[in-house]
Structure 1
Amino acid sequence: MKIFVIAFFILSSLPAVSGQVEKTIHQTFDIGESTTISLALAGEYSIVPWAGNTVMTETQVELYDASPSILKHLLEKDQRYRIDADTTGGTIKLISFDQKREPVRTRSGTCTELVHIKVFVPDNFKGQGETTFVKTR
């Protein structure tokens, strides 16, 4: 019985281990009369052509060794994964709100953060370089 009590106290004194939390965020942007799409996004992203008439972004966030409340704070308070659109002069420019994305630190250390953005670009836009797309028809 003494061993069980000791084991209970040892296990209960260990810090709570947080697992993986993840979230997928979708945003859509109306192109309007824009003939050019320009990207200034932080981190890795991939381009996916699609038959829509808007630009859509899908941001997949995986956070390891963090609690759901930390992810919620990053989403709502820090707006870490927000993408803004600037439409001037016939161009729509998608810009990451947080360009730096400093490492996420908690009391127990640094969290591993995986972020991947898919940018769904209308199929009537053709790529010119890695960050610019021009309307073809």
Structure 2
Amino acid sequence: MRHLLTLALVAWAALSLAQDPADIFHKTVDVDRVNRISFDVYPNDRVEYRTWPGDDVLIETSVEIANAKQDILDFYMRQNRYVLKPEVEGDAMSLVSFDKTRRTVKGTEGNAFETVTIVVYLPENFTSTADGLYTRNQ
């Protein structure tokens, strides 16, 4: 009985430590000279838009890769796979996914599965005028 209990404890510890790699990172984007913001985000990413009392756009990106090792996630983070890059033209800004042709991630046992959730915090003086388009209130 003691050996069975020890084996169960070891199995529980191994399973609790063998989690899928995940990371959360933040990025701010200055919008002082911007009156319109649009988004062109990779289609499989989940995006939420919220307001906040700040002066900049705050982007919080949460990434989890199932069936992969932490090294794979670290590699893709260094490659900016999940970054929204600003493209400014006049007083309009577009936040565009850096990698819009994401190839399948090879995991430890076949393909890995990515879950990317992006929460965009926009200043309170921006309002939604269309899907993925925000305009500064005058």
TM range (shorter): 0.7 to 0.9
Structure 1 match to 2:137: 136
Question: What's the offset of the Cα at 1:102?
Answer: 2.3
Any stretches of 5+ residues in structure 1 without a counterpart?
1-17
Find the aligned partners of 1:118 and 1:107 in 2 and give their Cα distance. Answer: 29
**Based on CA coordinates, which of the two structures has the bigger radius of gyration?**
1
| CA RMSD, 1 decimal | 1.6
Find the aligned partners of 1:55 and 1:21 in 2 and give their Cα distance. Answer: 27
Question: What's the offset of the Cα at 1:100?
Answer: 2.5
Structure 1 match to 2:40: 40
Any stretches of 5+ residues in structure 2 without a counterpart?
1-17
SS in 2 for 1:98: coil
Question: What's the offset of the Cα at 1:35?
Answer: 0.7
Find the aligned partners of 2:101 and 2:47 in 1 and give their Cα distance. Answer: 15
The answer to whether the Cα contact below 8 Å between 1:35 and 1:134 also exists between their aligned partners in 2 is yes
* TM-score after normalising by structure 1: 0.82
Structure 1 match to 2:107: 106
SS in 1 for 2:63: strand
Question: What's the offset of the Cα at 1:33?
Answer: 1.4
Structure 2 match to 1:65: 67
Question: What's the offset of the Cα at 1:113?
Answer: 1.0
Give the percent of matched residue pairs that are identical in Structure 1 and Structure 2: 27
The answer to whether the Cα contact below 8 Å between 1:19 and 1:65 also exists between their aligned partners in 2 is no
SS in 1 for 2:33: coil
The answer to whether the Cα contact below 8 Å between 2:69 and 2:107 also exists between their aligned partners in 1 is no
Structure 2 match to 1:23: 23
Structure 1 match to 2:80: 79
* TM-score after normalising by structure 2: 0.81
Find the aligned partners of 2:64 and 2:108 in 1 and give their Cα distance. Answer: 19
Deviates more, 1:51-60 or 1:105-114: 105-114
